[in-house]
Structure 1
Amino acid sequence: MRSILQVPGPVKAFFDQFPLQTYPAVSKKDEASLCEYNARSYAFREQKALQRSVNDIFKLGVYNVYEDPESGCVLATDPWCLYAQLSLCKKNGLKLARKKEAPSRQQQKQQQKQQPALLVVSRLAASDKSLPILIEGCSKRNVRSTTGINEILGSRLRDAEELMYVSLLDSVVYDCWTTQALCELSVARFLQLYDGTSTDFAALQGPLYQTIREDLLERNDFSLRHLEISRHVRYMHLYQSKNAHQLTSPLFDSCKAALDRFAELLGSRTLFSNDSEPSYLDLKLASYVLCFLSLDDQESSLARYLRHEGCTLTTHARAVIAHFE
């Protein structure tokens, strides 16, 4: 009796005539992926040529970058990412990255393996959808989250007074930055700041825009401090609330007062630190100021204020960048 699993003779004879071929495994890396990596990677410049082992290399993952028009350096578009970028330069004696020409394939491979770099990644690279992240090592890889990075940077502050000022920046000024990003920027401009893989398909921009906005609401517990603004952002077509200006105006006034206080503390000094090297407080303040200044006056009311009335803070931020050029 023929088994139902038995292959009929004519069929078996037909397929036996085909030669057997074993194909090699498909490589996970090719020229396209190497070029994509290189397009998203901006290597820090080192003051001295150092021979680093593979596990001494780190990559700082950020939302996106822009080229500073005055210094020509590549800076992260988000204040927390920029603070981490400047802090790595300070700790490791590095200089900020610059826009580069298209390198050869050999140079691309060398850059990928041997240089600390700023890397534009998706927010989905982080488990909590929050950037920056710090990717350390290669064979033994360790990924530090935004929370982990902030804890390390907080431990490097000199005293309780600096900690108080940094906490003020990460609450009052951070909240103003977030509200302006969420409520004042156009869809295209917002995606330039918080999505380095922006698509040209208009049908996909809307859902992506709203998803990233909701992720940003959860960052730094913003939604817990500003429930009304969070409802407005999430349900603006359904939730009947005050208009955006009424919601964000008090935050703008508080941020302006805080920045004015920092300008008074600086006085005639260029840096808070008495040393020639900027302190972590200098880096934190400059990160917020530079991110606001990266916006046009029409896009951000605080950017307009800093350009017209914040000369002390603008000069301070430029001095910080000049130290790492």
Structure 2
Amino acid sequence: MKKLIPLCTACLLALTGCNGGDATTPSPELAEPPVTTTLAVETPIPTEESSVSTPLPTDTLPLEVQPTETLPPATGTPFLWDGDPDSLTLNDFPTQLSGGMDVAEAVSALGPDDAGLYLIGQLPEQDTWLYGYYGPEDAQGLILRVGTQWHSLAIPFLTPQVLLPTMSYGDYDGDGDLELAVIVFVDGGTGTNVWGLSVVDFSNGGWELFQFADADYTAIVDLSLSSTYDPQTNLITLHAGDTSLELDPAALGYADLNVELEAGLGNWVQFATNGDSISAAFGITLWAPDMPATGVQAATLQANVVYTGSAFGLSDFSFSQP
């Protein structure tokens, strides 16, 4: 049974509407991952593998597909199939780890009716493997394999930046069982660096996918973040929970401002894991009407991600300057 997690701030869980808290409860269906909320880390670093000794889900989950043989040796030939994850056997999974550019080159060589399958992440000590599939046409997603069991996850993984997902185990909800966090690059470009967080929960002998949706963590940040502007000193102060940060708009490119600035979530969202905890980092921007420097990232809002087993929230806010 899931243990209740004490929430450290007024905006701990997203969108519940209860006592001012915020929480979201996603649907547990894998085919269309549910919508929930979460946070990020300051750099898109790989997640760390958990050292906890909690048993992995391999022994408790029902076998979804019965393997016919042991895995074949690694080859340089890409595996092509019809794109249906249900048609795979254990022999079909590639054993050679592919980098982002390797996957991009292989995908570019696919025909319109072809589908490719690529090993893009692995935790060998936990017998956990993450595959990306692409095609036919532009269909793409992930397949998670733990031992001889696997599930398809409807999470896109391939972008022009070819930054591949990372994953790590941890007891993120404190129930004594391990969950798997998967962090996937979503979007990037000038002033943009957005990653997404999903958690695969193996409780009760099943595989449930929960995603911290951008709409949910945006709502939490919007509810938690506020700002005050002092025209006498031309300083703006950011507030979130019990923390605050004073900024000089002129130093950020807002010279001769004399209008009130508005702080909001920018286009920079990252997540990271450390043992049994997940953290998030959000770029905070300042906005003012008709100002050329509008959208400058003025600060980073850090928080702990709270996962309850069915919902996400944010707690323990702190600010830093980029």
Greater relative contact order, per chain length (Cα 8 Å cut-off, separation 6+): 2
TM-score normalised according to structure 1 size:
0.22
Higher helix share: 1
Higher strand share: 2
